[in-house]
Homo-oligomer: A and B are copies of this chain.
Amino acid sequence: MKLVASLGTSPGGILETFEYLRRNGVEINDIEVVKTKDNAVSKAYDYLLSMFSCCIKLSYNDVIMGTLELPFSDITTSDDLNEMMKLVEPIINEGDYVDITGGRKAISMVMGLVAMKKKAHVITTIVPQSKYNEVQEKLKKGHQLVTENCSPSDKDFFCSLLTKDAVTIEINLE
């Protein structure tokens, strides 16, 4: 089953959602990241790749990660939203999980609407504000990215960006 997730400037949320779902018996084995070309988002994406290699791939070796890069650096018009919708629609299938936590509200709204149309699950992960701030501070300081093997200190750093205190909820109105 697939997890389709929008990425903002916070790299960890997508993987916290993934871990939450797996811990709760949802067999996600494909993560699709939806991102703009924005610099801060691309930086978060680079960290996400290192976190995926050092923290996720070692525990869940059946999971792959792919990317849908939107053809702009930010949403500025309704046309951008329509263009985005046409790109996102083919990658979401019935029963998939669509995480709208990352990125601009307009992106989340469009992804949520497409997911509902496709009978996918719309979900969002709530990260405590204190953890969010801690991660942003660590990102400011920075760390060498991992492209090949993770050293124990890489693993320490990148896994510390993830929290087990995140809660994923489904947006499923009565």
- What residues of chain A have their CB less than 8 Å away from a CB belonging to chain B? 40, 74-78, 81-82, 85, 100-101, 104-106, 108-110, 112-113, 122, 124, 126, 129, 167, 169-174
Contact = CB atoms under 8 A, between A and B. Distances in A.
A100 to B, nearest CB: 5
Given A105-B101, A124-B106, A76 B169 contact: yes
A42 B44 CA distance: 29
The interface residues of chain A, by DSSP majority, are classed as mixed
A108 B78 CA distance: 17
* 9 residue pairs, one from A and one from B, having the closest CB atoms: A106-B124, A105-B124, A105-B108, A109-B112, A109-B171, A100-B105, A78-B169, A82-B174, A101-B105
Nearest to A125: B105
Contacts of A170: 78
A71 to B, nearest CB: 17
Contacts of A74: 126
A33 B157 CA distance: 40
Contacts of A40: 129
B109 A75 contact: no
A105 B17 CA distance: 14
Contacts of A169: 75-78, 81, 106
Contact of A100 (B75, B77, B109, B124): B109
With most chain B CB atoms within 10 A of its CB, the pick from A78, A104, A109, A126 is A109
Contacts of A112: 109, 112-113
Nearest to A108: B105
Contacts of A108: 105, 108-109
Contacts of A109: 100, 108-109, 112, 122, 124, 171
